[in-house]
Chain A
Amino acid sequence: MSIDTQSAPRPTAQEPGPVAVHRRLPRFAPLGLFLAGIAAGAALSALTGFSVATAVIYGVVLGTLAVYVASRSVEGRRKATDRLVTSLVTTAFAIAMVPLLSLVYTVLDNGLPRLDSAFFTNSMYRVVGEGGGAYHAILGTVIITALATVISVPIGLMTAIYLVEYGTGRLKRAITFFIDVMTGIPSIVAGLFSFALFTLLFGNSVRLGVMGAVALSVLMIPVVVRSCEEVLKLVPNELREASFALGVPKWRTVVKIVLPTAVAGLGTGITLSVARVVGETAPLLVTVGLITGTNLNPFDGRMATLPVFAYFQLTQPGTATQAFIDRAWTAALVLIILVMALNVVARLISRFFAPKSGR
């Protein structure tokens, strides 16, 4: 038997109860106050020589202050602090969007003019002015990245299998810890390592495409291990147990049951790790160098790669400066497109190759 408290007769006396009455700002008042503050900020900026940057800064500060003061006087200190923090964290997110949008806009704006077919079909061989392209650099990037993938994936995947399926005790803990540490190796140090290794093997001033692949592998292996390990951990133990119960050896269980179940996640992780290293510049700068012609043999001499190509086009322009700078921006644009495409492919893999869940 419930009592409907809503319809109970209210006491006639309007004495303040133990709980203070909550006064609240009308629903759209904070937004309106904020916009008013922005307008005031724009006006203030117009008084002191208008610029978009100062207008936005003044506007956001004034808008936040307006909301805070109004809320403080109507709703009290606690609610006002809450509103202040709300606008602060929203502003933080908006601030982070500024460089992203600005960067994408700048690269598109500067890179699109040279994004023509010549850029993908010509190399820089005997080009000193306009024209030319990054054919050699794009191929070089593809070859070196593919080589790095061929080195990294078997090692990384087997290590992940060890950590999930076999590893115990101190060796497992040591490997996990040092792989975490290895993710933090600066890319230039990886390049120096590869340089030192090959210098000891082949003598001074050696420059090979495979040196770059080794340097990239040092950066790529820990990423592959971490992502594969996470995915393999998700494979349900029941599948392994069912396989063992049928008398299947452990290695066949891993190869035939665990890996196929996890293949979507593995593909995603490996693609993302490729995306992580494809834009690396520094290790290739010190190991592979740059040439103007097309060299497709990673075991013979210098090669061109897209990031290094972009860097040198910008920093060491020839006499026709603008042509070099245009090529640099287009190379940057192609690089971003490449990385984004790899990210999209990774998402598609995880969507289309995901294990069929039930019926």
Chain B
Amino acid sequence: MTATKAPTQPPSQQRAVRRPGDRLFSGAAKGSGIFILLVLAGVAAFLISEALPALTAPSDEIPGGEGLAGYIGPLILGTLLGALIALIVATPLAVGIALYITYYAPRRLASGMGYVIDLLAAIPSVVYGFWGLAVLAPRLVPFHEWAADTLGFIPFFAGPASTSGRTMLTVGIVLGVMILPIISAISREVFSQAPALHREAALALGATRWEMIRMAVLPYGKSGVIAGAMLGLGRALGETMAVAIILSGGAGATLNLISNSNPSTIASNIALRFPEATGVDVNTLVASGLALFIITLAVNMLARWVVNRRADFSGAN
């Protein structure tokens, strides 16, 4: 057989023997990968197919009687409000935690501290809901009253203050706690990768620790923090049980964060209404789920794009 091969042929053209086992195995591996892509496409396709009756139904058959947009609109507002509060609460804290663990904490304790923060991510969301309802909401009532008295001129704190504390503000804070470990894990990762030469150079030039962080670490880690915050945002947008348990929702669109009437969020609205829903109601809820899917998909794709863009010029080069 070797006689037929031209001697000038490079060795890479000598194809390895392909055994049936090889073909089967690589086919199965490739098939699994393609299957996952199909699942993702299937999620979109099946949601659309179940949402279609609601998309085409006359507007008076949709719950609320104001059409699909009138039904989903306040829900989207509520979803965005809660997630934004969570982001505002969690991002500065998470950056602080990440800096503390990477550059301030005693070396020996640092990894243990990171593990403790990660424990926050391991707690099921339904338990967060219990905790928010039983512990946090009553404790925040004085703050609600204070905010209504002193900050009442801002539309967000127009009041009247809720006496139960089951408000959008409380939900936002609980969501903030839930996304804290996500943002801080990614921030920790990028902060610890900041080039050691830059850090040592800054310190050698007489910078204090904070100046070193500001000049060598933060510029390097900025896009990582942004990406982490967006992944956290995606999680907060889709969070269901904690919101469903804590929030006394169901009111129309309002920006008031501290009163008893709050817009519900898409996910919690589905969880609350789905078990009893029938007919077009089910299709409407699936349609709202489709809207949530599209929003989170967009946020996550943007976040991954930011992460991957950073990966291109980070590390060794």
Q: CB-CB < 8 A to A310: which residues of B?
A: 126-127, 130
Q: Are A175 and B36 in touch, CB under 8 angstroms?
A: yes
B304 at the A interface (CB under 8 A): yes
Q: CB-CB < 8 A to A122: which residues of B?
A: none
Measured CB to CB, the closest approach of chain A to B68, in angstroms, equals 16
Interface size class, chain B: 35 or more
B190 at the A interface (CB under 8 A): no
Q: Are A189 and B292 in touch, CB under 8 angstroms?
A: yes
A252-B33 contact, Cβ under 8 Å, with A89-B97, A311-B126: no
A225 CA / B35 CA spacing, docked (Å): 13
Q: Are A189 and B300 in touch, CB under 8 angstroms?
A: no
14 A-B pairs whose Cβ atoms sit less than 8 Å apart in the complex: A96-B180, A99-B131, A106-B135, A110-B134, A181-B40, A181-B301, A184-B231, A184-B234, A192-B289, A279-B125, A279-B127, A285-B274, A311-B129, A332-B127
Q: CB-CB < 8 A to B297: which residues of A?
A: 181, 184-185
Q: CB-CB < 8 A to A99: which residues of B?
A: 120, 131, 136, 177
A95 at the B interface (CB under 8 A): yes
Q: Are B275 and A221 in touch, CB under 8 angstroms?
A: no
A307 at the B interface (CB under 8 A): yes
A79 CA / B211 CA spacing, docked (Å): 10
A85-B210 contact, Cβ under 8 Å, with A181-B304, A193-B46, A218-B39: yes
A250 CA / B92 CA spacing, docked (Å): 49
Report A42-99 residues with CB < 8 Å from chain B CB.
53, 78-79, 81-82, 85-86, 88-93, 95-97, 99
B37 at the A interface (CB under 8 A): yes
B28 at the A interface (CB under 8 A): yes
B209 at the A interface (CB under 8 A): yes
Q: Are A186 and B126 in touch, CB under 8 angstroms?
A: no
Q: Are A186 and B238 in touch, CB under 8 angstroms?
A: yes
A39 at the B interface (CB under 8 A): no
Stretch at the interface among A27-35, A126-134, A162-170, A291-299: A162-170
B158 at the A interface (CB under 8 A): no
B215 at the A interface (CB under 8 A): no
A186-B240 contact, Cβ under 8 Å, with A100-B116, A192-B270: yes
A178 at the B interface (CB under 8 A): yes
Stretch at the interface among B18-26, B164-172, B194-202: B18-26
A335-B49 contact, Cβ under 8 Å, with A175-B37, A186-B292: no
Number of A-B pairs, beta carbon distance below 8 Å: 270
B101 at the A interface (CB under 8 A): yes
SS class, residues of chain B in contact with chain A = helix
Q: Are A96 and B120 in touch, CB under 8 angstroms?
A: yes
Q: CB-CB < 8 A to A78: which residues of B?
A: 208, 211
Q: Are B96 and A197 in touch, CB under 8 angstroms?
A: no
| Chain B residues proximal to chain A, CB less than 8 Å | 16-17, 19, 21-22, 24-26, 28-37, 39-40, 42-43, 46-47, 49-50, 92-93, 95-97, 99-101, 104-105, 113, 116-117, 119-120, 122-131, 133-136, 139, 177, 180, 184, 208-211, 213, 231, 234-235, 237-241, 245, 267, 270-271, 274-275, 278, 285-286, 289, 292-293, 296-297, 299-301, 303-304, 308
A154 CA / B31 CA spacing, docked (Å): 11
Q: Are B43 and A185 in touch, CB under 8 angstroms?
A: yes
**Nearest A residue to B41 by beta-carbon distance?**
A178
Number of interface residues, chain A, beta carbon within 8 A: 92
| Chain A residues proximal to chain B, CB less than 8 Å | 53, 78-79, 81-82, 85-86, 88-93, 95-97, 99-100, 102-103, 106-107, 110, 154-156, 158-159, 161-163, 165-167, 171-172, 174-175, 177-190, 192-193, 195-197, 199-200, 205, 218, 221-222, 225, 249-252, 254-255, 275, 278-282, 285-286, 289, 307, 310-311, 314-315, 328-329, 332, 335-336, 339-340, 343
Q: Which of B92, B100, B285, B300 has the most CB of A within 10 A?
A: B100
Q: Are A186 and B180 in touch, CB under 8 angstroms?
A: no
A329 CA / B234 CA spacing, docked (Å): 28
A343-B293 contact, Cβ under 8 Å, with A162-B32, A189-B238, A250-B26: no
Q: Are A158 and B28 in touch, CB under 8 angstroms?
A: yes
Measured CB to CB, the closest approach of chain A to B30, in angstroms, equals 5
Which one, A97, A167, A187, contacts B33 given CB within 8 A?
A167
A276 CA / B43 CA spacing, docked (Å): 20
Q: CB-CB < 8 A to A110: which residues of B?
A: 134
Q: Are A97 and B116 in touch, CB under 8 angstroms?
A: yes
Add 20 more A-B contacts to A90-B100, A282-B125, A332-B127 (CB < 8 A): A85-B209, A85-B213, A93-B97, A93-B113, A96-B120, A97-B116, A103-B128, A158-B28, A159-B36, A165-B29, A171-B30, A171-B33, A175-B34, A184-B234, A185-B238, A189-B47, A189-B296, A192-B50, A275-B122, A339-B122
